[in-house]
Structure 1
Amino acid sequence: MSLLNLNRVSKNDNSGKEEMEPCLPENKAMANAMIADQLPTPHHTIVSTGDCEKPKQNPATVSCRKFWPRSLRFTVYVDVLTTIVFFVIFVSIELGVIPQRKLGFRCKDPSISYPYTGDTITLTILLLGTYFGPLLLIIFIEIVREKSLKDIRIGVVWDHYKELLIGVSFVIMITEVAKAMLGEHRPHFFDVCRPDANEGCTEGAFIEDYTCTNKEYSSWLISDASKSFPSGHSSISVFASLFTAYVIQTRLPSAATGRLFKPFLIAVCLSWGILCSLSRIADRRHHWWDVLSGTVLGILGVIFFTTIFHQKQKNKLHRASEKSISSTMLLDVKNKTAASARV
């Protein structure tokens, strides 16, 4: 009569040789019950050897896999390569390596005759508010949820912040490509460029061939004077503010902060996007339709990325729930099997 056992079973065949059967850990409960009720036959001998022997792994290999999983290597390479390509394209457009379309203008056009006064919200302030402001808010939200700085889950913070970085990069790429392919003269174009053909021409006449004569400003600023459409400040700030507001709404518990604190934070985020956008019109750096197009681009980007991110989070929760249910059912089945085996 055959017998299941946890450890090893040795069989004596006619030749007197001993053959070892493989260990079956999943039958541990059943095997123990059967061993207690049955005696081995003359041809079977129970050999107790303790726990199942597991193949030993190189500690260095285990440590390497812990911090650099094999399954992530390819995706990491792709992410790094994509980041490099994005950076190269962005710098090439900004420095004029990828040439932009040269635009003509109407002689003495009043819409592009405003003086250049600089930026109320500079590029440095915009980048700080876009990249570091949301990160601080996400960390703050997780501290409130976990009620401790030590207990916050870095993976959750990174998941949300990574999605923000990808979305901002996506919006910047579309904005820069649109500026290079479409473009438009900024309201201060005449003041920065000082085209030679604008002097002595008939008002309203369209001029295509001209040369910028202003030596007071850098070549980058002169080139940038023809990149008004769409507004990059508007698209980036609107995306960052709306995405951060989404994180606040979905992650910050109202029970821990009160009813007014969450709407207040959301209002602060939205005010940042509105302030950045309206300052571009007040500084005569953009036309109102440039700001409107940038705002629409930022809103569309938020809708796209928050929809995808929300679905990712739902799928994670669903998989975690299925895994928990499967583990519970498997444990119940094993317990019932072991109990029936003892009876």
Structure 2
Amino acid sequence: MSLLNLNRIGKNEDSEREKMVPCLPENKAMANAMLADQLPSPHHTIVTTGDCEKPKPNPATVSCRKFWPRRLGYTVYIDILTTIVFFVIFVSIELGVIPQRKLGFRCKDPTISFPYTGDTITLTILLLGTYLGPLIFIVLIEIVREKSFKDVRIGIIWDHYKELLIGVSFVIMITEVAKAMLGEHRPHFFDVCRPDANEGCAEGVFVVDYTCTNKEYSSWLISDASKSFPSGHSSISVFASLFTAYVIQTRLPSAATGRLFKHFLISICLSWGILCSLSRIADRRHHWWDVLSGTVLGILGVIFFTTIFHQKQKCKLQRTSEKSISSTMLLDVKNKTAASARV
């Protein structure tokens, strides 16, 4: 048989094999090697097609793509846009653009007669602990997993942090809507508002029509004095702490750090949520049932979002395993064919 005929046979076999195997460089090399083993001529000819040929990637580009994804999917932009919309609604409610329901009170009510002493954990500290703290933990976890900063993939960090951002926005939205629709006077309501109807009325009389007379505080703080239910500090901090603890538990390998260190990090996260919640009661900024409702809201939110996120990661792992199995099966076919040809 001439070499030309052998090349024709090789092209026909290669065309049939392309229909069965995806046109990948490594699969093409395996298929050509299988064909070469079956040729009876001592001069083996490896046939390749130009369609599958790809230039060798630049090593610098490969390492850069491993660290930073080539492009973000359109769903990422939708998530970012949704988060911005949530933030705008949150600011509108806080600034009074979206009006809240005006609540009445009972004269001389001792539960809302505490002095206003400020916040142990301010809004700035809360936001830093909610947004910056989990990001630091997620990055450190990935560095420990990869044992090198260069091998850390931004895509994985973004997947986890994106879910945190969406979850926090979801919890904030529910909290703010509940504050505007339901609301409740804070324990320091009388001290901040100083309603005119509270001076001459009898104890226990319910007052609906009143006007706040305190000029020492801003209008925002006076309006905020009637937004006690539920506790936003509790719902946000509990969600962020539990979600970060979930990431630590699922992503941080115990073999690299030991179980004690992992539990230590988880305890730090949980302590943050507990500290923020209890400080609201100690500062007389919330009633205990406000803090409890905020904690429950944060727990329900983290259960919902971690369940969805875990299912997403499971599907990604399953698709990766299927691709790996396909490559392994192709390699097994090649080895069996080569062994039978030698026999």
TM over 0.5: yes
Query: Hey, what's the Cα distance between the residues in 2 that align with 1:123 and 1:222?
Result: 16
Which whole-Å CA distance do the structure 2 matches of 1:328 and 1:49 have between them? Answer: 22
Secondary structure in structure 2 of the residue aligned to 1:230: coil
Identity of aligned residues (%): 80
What does the per-residue CA deviation read over 1:117-174, in whole Å, with 9 as the maximum and x for residues that have no partner?
Answer: 1000000001111111111112222222222222223222222222211111111111
Matched, 1:321 2:321: yes
Q: Per the alignment, do residues 160 and 77 of structure 1 end up closer, same or farther by CA in structure 2, a change over 3 Å counting? A: closer
Q: Tell me by how many angstroms 1:100 deviates.
A: 0.7
Amino acid at match of 1:82: T
SS of aligned partner of 1:260: helix
**Greater relative contact order structure (CA < 8 Å, 6+ sep):** 2
Report the equivalent of 2:249: 249
Structure 2 counterpart of 1:126, one-letter code:
L
Aligned amino acid, residue 325 of structure 2 = I
Q: Identify the residue that residue 311 of structure 2 maps to in structure 1.
A: 311
Q: How many residues get paired? A: 317
8 A Cα contact 2:87 2:169, kept in partner? no
Matched, 1:67 2:64: no
Question: What letter matches 2:70 in structure 1?
Answer: F
Structure 2 residue aligned with 1:186 = 186
When residues 76 and 258 of structure 1 are mapped into structure 2, their CA distance, relative to the original with a 3 A threshold, is closer
2:83 alignment counterpart:
83
* Alignment-derived partner of residue 53 in structure 1: 50
For residues 118 and 52 of structure 1, the distance between their equivalents in structure 2, rounded to whole angstroms, comes to 74
- Provide the aligned C-alpha RMSD in A: 3.2
Gaps of 5+ in 2: 19-27, 55-68
Could you list the per-position Cα deviations for residues 89-108 of structure 1 after superposition, in whole angstroms to 9, with x for gaps in the alignment?
A: 11111111111111111111
Rate the CA distance shift 1:333–1:55 in 2: closer, same or farther, 3 A. closer
CA distance change for structure 1 residues 331 and 99 in 2, over 3 Å: closer, same or farther? Answer: same
Per-residue deviation at 1:180? 0.7
Mapped to 1, the partners of 2:246 and 2:126 lie a distance apart of 20
Q: Distance in 2 between matches of 1:320 and 1:56?
A: 24
- In 2, distance between residues paired with 1:181 and 1:253? 45
Instruction: Please state how far the C-alpha of 1:322 moved relative to its aligned partner.
Output: 1.4
Q: Counterparts in 2 of 1:1-343, with a 5 A limit? A: 4-7=8-11, 28-29=32-33, 32=36, 51-54=48-51, 67-68=70-71, 72=73, 74-337=74-337
Q: 2:147 & 2:238 partners in 1: Cα distance? A: 30
Residue 257 of structure 1: CA displacement?
2.3
Amino acid at match of 2:234: S
The offset of 1:228, in angstroms, is 0.3
Cα 1:116/1:316, change in 2 over 3 Å: same
Unaligned runs of 5+ in 1: 10-20, 38-47, 58-65
TM score, norm. by length of structure 1: 0.81
How far did residue 270 of structure 1 move?
A: 1.2
Partners in 1 of 2:144 and 2:53 — Cα distance?
43
Contact preservation (8 Å) 1:8, 1:22: yes
Query: Is the contact between residue 5 and residue 32 of structure 1 (CA under 8 Å) also seen in structure 2?
Result: no
TM-score by length of 2: 0.81
Which structure has the larger Rg? 1
Query: Shift of the alpha carbon at 1:315?
Result: 1.9
Tell me, what secondary structure is at the counterpart of 2:50? coil
C-alpha contact (below 8 Å) 2:126/2:237 kept by paired residues:
yes
Describe the superposition over 1:270-325 as per-residue Cα deviations: whole angstroms up to 9, x where unpaired.
11111110110111100000000001111111111122222222222222111101
Q: Is the contact between residue 179 and residue 230 of structure 2 (CA under 8 Å) also seen in structure 1?
A: yes
8 A Cα contact 1:6 1:24, kept in partner = no
Task: Provide the C-alpha distance between the structure 2 equivalents of 1:256 and 1:85, rounded to a whole number of angstroms.
Answer: 41
Which structure has the highest helix share of the two? Answer: 2
How far is 1:341 from its partner? 6.9
Q: Secondary structure at the match of 1:327?
A: helix
Q: Which moved more, 1:312-321 or 1:193-202?
A: 312-321
